[in-house]
A and B are shown apart, each in its own frame.
Chain A
Amino acid sequence: QSVVTQPPSASGTPGQRVTISCSGSSSNIGENTVNWYQQLPGTAPKLLIYKNNQRPSGVPDRFSGSKSGTSASLAISGLQSEDEADYYCAAWDDSLNGVVFGGGTKLTVL
């Protein structure tokens, strides 16, 4: 069981806005920045958001991140069918002295 918690699933219809939550503790999200990864079926993960709310070049601005206290969120607006994927949050954990990933959220576009 991961020390960082995500809902196992989320869904939305095309064009809709969906959010995925990521809940941690003072030793990880509370003290360090959060990063988000997208993993399309059968492929390697891709960095989607870094440092809570920064997008790497090439990531559409439909994707946005935020953090408050020991929780973070990933928002996807204008949902598209190609957004159907697994999404993971990750942060450094000062107690474990390592990176912790959330359990992942499977996003389904209905």
Chain B
Amino acid sequence: EVQLLESGGGLVQPGGSLRLSCAASGFTFSSYAMSWVRQAPGKGLEWVSGISASGATTYHADSVKGRFTISRDNSKNTLYLQMNSLRAEDTAVYYCAKSRLMVDTTQSDCWGQGSLVTVSS
């Protein structure tokens, strides 16, 4: 069974940093692109970052570019999102998502349960 388990969320002050992790199991992690998608309270889905299966190619939304970094460790079957210079508007549930493909991150066929990040003083 494919499983994605996010961790690392919590309360952080504006300007602070946090690293989210997503532990994957039940599939060959190194063969699929992965993404982070967030959802602010009561709002819609917003794509944050994507990474190819090998990790060689990464993409970030303009809203987080220069502040967030997506990475992966295929030897540990784990996806990461390093979040720096956090702002109140980054408050959201962050979902880890698996793509159906190696590079394309638009077709996410498996999602984690989400990790809540709250940015507040």
Contacts and interface: CB of A to CB of B under 8 A. Distances in A.
Interface of A: 2, 32-33, 35, 37, 39, 44-47, 50-51, 56, 86, 88, 90-92, 96-104
Contacts of B112: 44
B61 A98 contact: yes
Contacts, number: 64
Interface stretch (B18-26, B71-79, B81-89, B100-108): B100-108
B68 to A, nearest CB: 12
B44 A88 contact: yes
A90 B106 contact: yes
Contacts of B47: 90, 98-101
- Chain B interface size band reads 20 to 34
What does DSSP make chain A's interface, helix, strand, loop or mixed? strand
Interface in B37-82: 37, 44-47, 50, 59-62
A46 B113 CA distance: 11
Nearest to A102: B44
Contacts of A103: 44
Contact of A35 (B50, B95, B107, B114): B107
B1 to A, nearest CB: 13
Given A33-B106, A50-B107, A96-B62, 13 more contacts: A35-B108, A44-B95, A44-B111, A45-B45, A45-B111, A88-B45, A90-B45, A92-B104, A92-B106, A98-B50, A98-B61, A99-B105, A99-B106
Interface in B13-31: none
A77 to B, nearest CB: 23
B91 interface: no
A56 B106 contact: no
A23 to B, nearest CB: 15
Contacts of A37: 45, 108
